[in-house]
Amino acid sequence: MKRFFGPVTMADPQVSDAEHELFGGPLRYDMGWSQHEHATLDLTMMSALRSMPGLVGATLRMAWQADRRALLSVGVSEIGQGIAAAAGLLAVNAVMHALLAGSGSAAERLHALLPGLLAAAIIGVVNSALSAWSTSRAGRLEPKVERIATTQYLAAAARVELEAIDDPDFRRLVDIAQHGPGSARRMISSCVAALNGLISLITTAGVLAVLDPALLPMLILIAAPRGWGAMRVAQERYVSVMSWIEHVRASRLIGNLLTERTAAQEVRLHAVGPFLLSRYERMAESAEAEQERLASSKALTEWLASALSGLAMAGPHCPAWPWPRPTGPCSG
């Protein structure tokens, strides 16, 4: 249980012989700076929720600066998708109610299905169009936000004093900061996905409250495990990226020695190209093993989250279900 619900920690390093040979040991950043009282590495659910408004706010400010029309278009389309989803649930409920109605002949019940089916089809087309529109506008925003973040990062680096350029701590910060523009770009799609999920959750809860309030606790129990799973996967990925930053920087250094003009003469004069390439491959294999570990952990975490959600779905059919059982047409 601690594997899933305990604090996220760095995995034991799988050290290649190339790391020992070239750098004297494992290139894993232990994040010791996080022990500072003003920079504690806090990866709990509550800390993530507390930091989310600031991250989303910074992303929205950059998006507003980049292309406000595209940003507004994304917001409108996501709200429209939420409304369409709610209408779709009502249409499906009407179809199921007509299908399961005990009165009338089969032809009469089939005729009663047509309005609901037509409404569901129209709503599906509208929802697909809104989704495509949102994807298009978000795709327009992402490179612009990345450009603004890159400009801010380069402007800050240009103001640094010359003596800091050779400081190892500064170089580490630069390597970490290089992930910033790409992360800002990914935040656009993450914000869109979060907004879509939030609106869908609200609209679904509203529909269920109208159809049968007894279903609301089940909705929360179904959604909570998936939210935990997504947070756990993000936490593990963050710890991995931070701890492997030194390894990535060293691999890049070896690659630069093979490609940069300044080192080309020495590499060829001393015939060390095959040596450096073989060491690069071994270090890359270590990084691949870490990615495989992350993928396996993600699969296991998402499986557990899905299993818990499945148990929540089965809750209303369990004799020990603590809330009133659903009685509406959507209760199955």
If one compares 42 and 186, the residue with the highest pLDDT of the two is 186
Residue 133 pLDDT exceeds 80: yes
Residue 327 pLDDT exceeds 80: no
Query: For the segment 152-177, what is each residue's pLDDT rounded down to a tens digit?
Result: 888 888 888 877 777 777 777 777 77
Instruction: Say what the pLDDT of residue 328 is.
Output: 47
Instruction: Say what the pLDDT of residue 72 is.
Output: 92
The CA–CA distances, whole Å, from 295 to 48, 187, 213 equal 22, 21, 38
Domain limit, last residue, from 158, 178, 211: 211
Q: Are residues 147 and 196 in the same domain?
A: yes
CA distance 274 to 230: 42
**Among 233, 287, 245, CA closest to 43:** 233
The CA–CA distances, whole Å, from 105 to 100, 112, 324 equal 12, 11, 33
Q: Are residues 189 and 252 in the same domain?
A: no
Mean pLDDT, residues 280-305 taken together: 88
Whether 56 is covered by a domain: the verdict is yes
Mean pLDDT, residues 283-304 taken together: 88
- Cβ-contact 81, 195 below 8 angstroms: no
Whether this model's pTM surpasses 0.75 = no
CA distance 230 to 298: 9
Q: Are residues 85 and 137 in the same domain?
A: yes
Domain that holds residue 185: 52-211
Instruction: Say what the pLDDT of residue 30 is.
Output: 59
Q: Are residues 207 and 218 in the same domain?
A: no
Q: Are residues 83 and 174 in the same domain?
A: yes
Q: Are residues 59 and 194 in the same domain?
A: yes
Mean pLDDT, residues 205-214 taken together: 77
Q: What is the CATH number of the domain that holds 112?
A: 1.20.1560.10
Cβ burial of 135 (10 Å; 0-12, 13-18, 19+) is: middle
Q: Are residues 263 and 184 in the same domain?
A: no
Q: Are residues 100 and 202 in the same domain?
A: yes
Instruction: Say what the pLDDT of residue 251 is.
Output: 86
Whether 309 is covered by a domain: the verdict is yes
Q: Are residues 105 and 228 in the same domain?
A: no
- Cβ-contact 109, 99 below 8 angstroms: yes
Residue 39 pLDDT exceeds 50: no
CA distance 92 to 264: 67
Instruction: Say what the pLDDT of residue 101 is.
Output: 65
Instruction: Say what the pLDDT of residue 33 is.
Output: 45
Mean pLDDT, residues 257-274 taken together: 84
- Cβ-contact 188, 216 below 8 angstroms: no
Q: Are residues 207 and 79 in the same domain?
A: yes
**Among 304, 226, 235, CA closest to 1:** 304
Token pair, residue 138, equals 């978000």
Domain limit, last residue, from 211, 226, 254: 211
Number of domains in the chain: 2
Mean pLDDT, residues 26-33 taken together: 61
Domain limit, last residue, from 211, 234, 250: 211
Instruction: Say what the pLDDT of residue 103 is.
Output: 64
Query: For the segment 43-73, what is each residue's pLDDT rounded down to a tens digit?
Result: 566 776 777 788 788 888 888 998 899 999 9
Which span out of 4-18, 124-138, 235-249, 261-275 was modeled with the highest average pLDDT?
124-138
Residue 221 pLDDT exceeds 60: yes
Confidence of residue 218 (pLDDT cuts 50, 70, 90): confident
Whether 232 is covered by a domain: the verdict is yes
Q: Are residues 288 and 201 in the same domain?
A: no
The CA–CA distances, whole Å, from 203 to 218, 222, 265, 329 equal 15, 15, 65, 18
Confidence of residue 268 (pLDDT cuts 50, 70, 90): confident
Q: Are residues 229 and 207 in the same domain?
A: no
Confidence of residue 299 (pLDDT cuts 50, 70, 90): very high
Residue with tokens 């305990």: 6
Instruction: Say what the pLDDT of residue 40 is.
Output: 43
Cβ burial of 151 (10 Å; 0-12, 13-18, 19+) is: exposed
Instruction: Say what the pLDDT of residue 57 is.
Output: 86
